[in-house]
Amino acid sequence: MGEFRFIKGDRTNEDRMKNTKEFFQSTIHFSLGNEELAAGLTLFTSLSNEGLNNKTLELLHPEEIKIGGGYASEVRRRSFFNGRIVGKMAMNQVFPGIPPAACRIITGSIGRPVIEALPQPYGISISHNELWNAGVCFPLSVPMGIDVETITEKNRAIIASILSDHEKDLCSSEGDTLEIIHLLWTAKEAAAKAIGLGFLVPTAWYEIEFIETLRTEPQRIHQCRFKNLSVFTALTVEIPGAMLSIAFPSENNFSQTMISLLQLT
Ligand SMILES: CC(C)(COP(=O)(O)OP(=O)(O)OC[C@H]1O[C@@H](n2cnc3c(N)ncnc32)[C@H](O)[C@@H]1OP(=O)(O)O)[C@@H](O)C(=O)NCCC(=O)NCCS
């Protein structure tokens, strides 16, 4: 496998990150050996009912609308639509010529989202919660996973219950802040999605060995290395009210390229 080389990055923010309806998109172009590749990241805060309806009709395939509409739970229905919308927006950054409503994101084996009918082998990773939605579209030759979690005290005990002794020590050395706890959690979930097995395997697979700060300006970006999953790395950044992580292959210093995708200002 060749070296990763950063080619260029674009971002759209339009100052909306400061407002309640927050929206952010970033695209990077890079090469791996002789191949030119791209990755697209979209983030937005959950839409109003009207916004959700409009975006659903604009971006989703009729089959997706049917599946989402079939969920009895309103929470699941909204999260499904938000997740599909953010996935389609991320896809559209890499494939601007493909109408998002023309292709489907289907649920593959073990829950993994699979995007159909793309001209090149690209995948999608999705995360949605009550506040934020995040999606990344990536080449299948460079697998990625994304996770976003609202930073809240009520998650503290749940996250602590799955941390190893070593990870608890990492948290203690950082003052046991809610931020560090969510940083660890989102990095693990992002890795779980990048390998496509989720938490159907022991959580020890995703044990984090160390965390380092790669950037402090304009935003603090942390890098997590996994003890048993050393082929993957996760970058983590705090966004308003939440923590966002993306996991990707750790080879050939790809982190330097991925930082460009995560520079949100
Ligand atoms: C995958 C998992 C880490 C998701 O984390 P979460 O914090 O609950 O939820 P998020 O919003 O961050 O992510 C949900 C998305 O992850 C994706 N996902 C689910 N399983 C996945 C897998 N094995 N690999 C990659 N992505 C996966 C899906 O796109 C899902 O959204 P969708 O169901 O609307 O398509 C977690 O649910 C898990 O490990 N589950 C065990 C596997 C399982 O039960 N799979 C079936 C899920 S329906």
Q: Measured from the CA of 198, which atom of ligand 1 is nearest?
A: 39
Identify the band that residue 19 occupies on the pLDDT scale cut at 50, 70 and 90.
Answer: very low
Identify the band that residue 14 occupies on the pLDDT scale cut at 50, 70 and 90.
Answer: low
Identify the band that residue 17 occupies on the pLDDT scale cut at 50, 70 and 90.
Answer: very low
How far apart, in whole angstroms, are the C-alpha atoms of residue 164 and residue 244?
21
Percent of the chain exceeding pLDDT 70 equals: 96
Q: Does domain 4-262 have CATH number 3.90.470.20?
A: yes
Q: Whose CA is nearest to atom 45 of ligand 1?
A: 111
Identify the band that residue 46 occupies on the pLDDT scale cut at 50, 70 and 90.
Answer: confident
Backbone phi, then psi, for 243, in 5-degree steps?
A: -120, 140
- Residue 171 pLDDT > 70: yes
Q: Measured from the CA of 195, which atom of ligand 1 is nearest?
A: 24
Q: Measured from the CA of 105, which atom of ligand 1 is nearest?
A: 35
Question: 189 in ligand 1 pocket by Cβ < 6 Å?
Answer: yes
Per-residue pLDDT tens digits for 57-99: 999 999 999 999 999 999 999 999 999 999 999 999 999 999 9
pLDDT at residue 16, as a whole number? 47
pTM for the predicted model, two decimal places: 0.95
Sheet architecture: strand order including 221-226 = 145-150, 242-249, 232-239, 221-226, 208-215
pLDDT at residue 18, as a whole number? 40
Mutate to test the pocket of ligand 1, among 42, 76, 110, 188 (most ligand atoms within 8 A of CB): 110
Per-residue pLDDT tens digits for 112-165: 999 998 999 999 999 998 899 999 999 999 999 999 999 999 999 999 999 999
Mutate to test the pocket of ligand 1, among 193, 206, 232 (most ligand atoms within 8 A of CB): 193
Mean pLDDT of the chain: 92
Per domain, the residue ranges of the chain are 4-262
Question: 107 in ligand 1 pocket by Cβ < 6 Å?
Answer: yes
- Residue 253 pLDDT > 70: yes
pLDDT at residue 232, as a whole number? 97
